[in-house]
Amino acid sequence: MSEIDATFKPFEQNLDMQKVLQILRDSTYGADDGELFLEKRITEGLAFDDQKLRQSSFNINEGFGLRTVAGEKIGFSHSSNITEQSIKEAAKIIKIANQGLTRDKPLAPPPSRTNVKLYSDADPFQSIPLSLKINLLKTINDFAREYDDRVAQVSVSMGASLQEIIILRPEGEILSDIRPMARIYISVVLEEKGRKESGSSGGGGRYSLSTLMAEDVWKHHVCEAIRIAGINLTAEAAPAGEMDIVLGPGWPGVMLHEAVGHGLEADFNRKKTSAFSELLGKQVASKDVSVIDDGTIPNRRGSISIDDEGTTSNRNVLIEKGILVNYMQDRQNARLMGLDTTGNGRRESYAHPPMPRMTNTFMSPGSINPTDILSDLKDGIYAVGFSGGQVDITNGKFVFSCTEAYRVKNGKIEKPVKGATLIGDGPTAMKNIQAVGNDLSLDPGIGNCGKGGQWVPVGVGQPTILISGLTIGGSGTN
C-alpha cells in the first residue's frame, strides 16, 4: 500500500484508511469499478477594475466523492464532511444505487504507473503578502495608463489555487497528487475620437503566482492587451462569404479543441452522438494533420500527474496523419468500448463524478514555413485570436468569433477586420486543411473547458494552418 504524503495530514487525522478501504470495498461489491476521491482545495482571487480593488477572496474547501460503476450505471454520493461516519452514510446511498447487482468478481486492476513530477512548485502562493499583491494590481493599472494615453479602463484579475487529492481504490491502492495553479488576466479599453475598443492578454500554469508577478511577465500582458485594442481601433467590418482562412499558431487551437476535441471524447462516441462515432481507423482529416492530447507536459494548465480516477496521465495520439486512431477514455467508457483507458477521467471537484475530458489538446507541427502559408493566401482572412464559440457535437458544426483578424490579398496582410465569425463543421474543416506550419505553439495558459456542468483547466495549441472554404460571417463588403 502506498504511503500517504504528509501534506494530507488533515485527511489522516479524521480517517482510519484501513476502515475506509473496507467501506469502499463493501460499497463496490459486485460492481465493475469505483473509487473514493478525497479533495482539499485552497483558492485565492483578486480583481482590480476602474482603479479600485473590486474583489478579494480566499477559500478553503474539502470533501469526498464516493462512486461505484456497473455497466452504464453510476452510483455517486458526496459530502463536504470528511469523516468515517459520513463515508458510511454515502456508502448506504451507493448500495441503494447498486441494488440488483449479483456479480461477485474482482475489480479490474488499475494500469501500471510511474510517479512523474509535472509541477515545478507545490505552493502557488509562496506566502506572498496580500498587500504586495494589491500593490501590484495598482502598479499594473498605473503602468497601462501611462503607457498609452488612450487607455480609458484597465481590469486586472489574478489568482492561485492548490488542489490536494487522495484516491482510494477498492483493490487497495492509495494515490495522491498535489496540483498548483496560478493565473493572471489583463483587459484594457482604448478610446480614440469617440470610438472604444478592448483588448486582453493573460497567462498561467501549474506553478507559483510569483512567476506571473515578475515585472517582465505582467508588462508583456499589458502591452499585448493594448496592442490588440489599438489594432481593433483601426479595424474595418469583416467581409462575409466563403473564403480561405489562415489560422495563427497557439490560441486559435481553441477551434480544434471545440470543433474536434470534444467529438473525440469517448462518452459521445460510445453513445454514437459524435460526428466521429464509429470512425476508428478511418480518414477524418487531411493527411498532414495529427492531433494529440497530452496531459504530461510539465507546468501546463491542462497537465495532470494522474487523472481523477487514479490513472497515470498520458500522451495520447488521437488522429495520426489524418487517420482517427484513438478516443479519450475514462475507465467506464474504455471498459464498455473494449478499449484501453487513456488517463482522461477528470472531474471539477469532489462533488462531481469523472467523465472523459481533454487535458492539453493540440495539432502537431508540419514542415511548412508559416510565411509561405500566408504568401499562398490569395484572398481570405488571417485569424490570430478568438473569444470563443459554439459547437454542436453531433455534427461538428461551429461558430467562432475572432478577436484579432486581418484581410489578406495576394499573400499580403492588409487592414485588420472586426466582427469576423468563422462558420463551418469540424469534420469538413479538418479534411480541408491545405497546409500545416512548422511553428507549433501552445496557448498562454488561461483556458477552462465546460462539459456537463463541470469546468476543468485545459490547454490548446496548433501551428499556423490554412483551411479552404470556410464561411465568414461579417457586415462588411467583400
- Each domain of the chain, given as residue ranges in start order, spans 6-233, 237-473
pLDDT for position 8? 45
Query: 473: which residues sit within 8 A by CB, 6+ positions away?
Result: 238, 240, 399, 420, 421, 422, 423
Give the chain's radius of gyration (CA, Å): 24
Q: Which helix (H) or strand (E) holds 81?
A: none
The phi and psi torsions of 84 (rounded to 5 degrees) equal -60, -40
Amino acid at residue number 101 = L
In sequence order, what E strands does 302-420 have? 315-320, 323-324, 345-346, 355-356, 360-363, 379-392, 397-409, 412-418
Q: Enter the C-alpha cell of residue 220.
A: 508583456
Helix pair 130-147, 215-233: axis angle to 10 deg: 40
Measured between alpha carbons, how far is 144 from 156 in angstroms, rounded to an integer?
A: 11
182 with 98: CB under 8 angstroms? Answer: no
Exposed/middle/buried for residue 149 (C-beta within 10 Å: 0-12, 13-18, 19+) = exposed
Maximum separation of any 2 CA atoms in the chain, in Å = 76
- pLDDT confidence of residue 4: 36
Our measurement of the distance from residue 369's CA atom to the centroid of its chain's CA atoms, rounded to an integer in Å, reads 28
pLDDT of residue 315: 97
Q: Which residue has the cell 469526498?
A: 64
pLDDT at 95: 75
Helix (H) or strand (E) holding 267: helix 266-270
> Would you say 35 and 24 are in contact if contact means Cβ atoms under 8 Å apart?
yes
Output DSSP code: residue 274: S
- Dump pLDDT digits (tens) for 406-441: 999 999 999 999 999 999 999 999 999 999 999 999
Residue in 222, 232, 221, 146 with CA at minimum distance from that of residue 197: 232
d(CA 422, CA 259): 11
Q: Are strands 360-363 and 459-462 parallel, antiparallel or unpaired?
A: parallel
Q: What is the SS3 assignment for 95?
A: helix
Nearest to 165 by CA among 25, 24, 43, 65: 65
CATH numeric code, 6-233: 3.30.2290.10
Look at residue 74 and give its three-state secondary structure.
strand
Cα 439 to chain centroid distance, Å, stands at 21
- Interior CA angle at 276 toward 275 and 282, to 5°? 135
- Shortest CA distance to 318 belongs to which of 367, 267, 262, 273? 262
Q: Residue 404 contacts by C-beta under 8 Å, 6 or more apart in sequence?
A: 228, 231, 232, 383, 384, 385, 416
The cell 462558420 sits on which residue? 423
Look at residues 429, 458, 406 and name the one whose alpha carbon lies nearest to residue 248: 406
Cell of 197: 475598443
Q: Which pLDDT score, from 0 to 100, does residue 117 have?
A: 59
141, 25 contact by CB (below 8 A): no
Q: What are phi and psi of 247, to 5 degrees?
A: -100, 130
- The answer to whether 69 and 34 have CB atoms below 8 angstroms apart is yes
Contact of 263 with 255, CB cutoff 8 Å: no
pLDDT tens-digit profile of 366-378?
Answer: 999 999 999 999 9
In the predicted model, residues of the chain with pLDDT beneath 70 are 1-13, 96-122, 476, 478
Centroid of chain to Cα 360: 7
Q: What is the pTM of this model?
A: 0.93
Residue 285 burial (CB count, 10 A): 23
CA distance 230 to 225: 9
In whole angstroms, give the CA distance from residue 295 to residue 110. Answer: 18
Q: How many CB atoms lie within 10 A of CB 221?
A: 22
Q: What is the pLDDT of residue 5?
A: 41
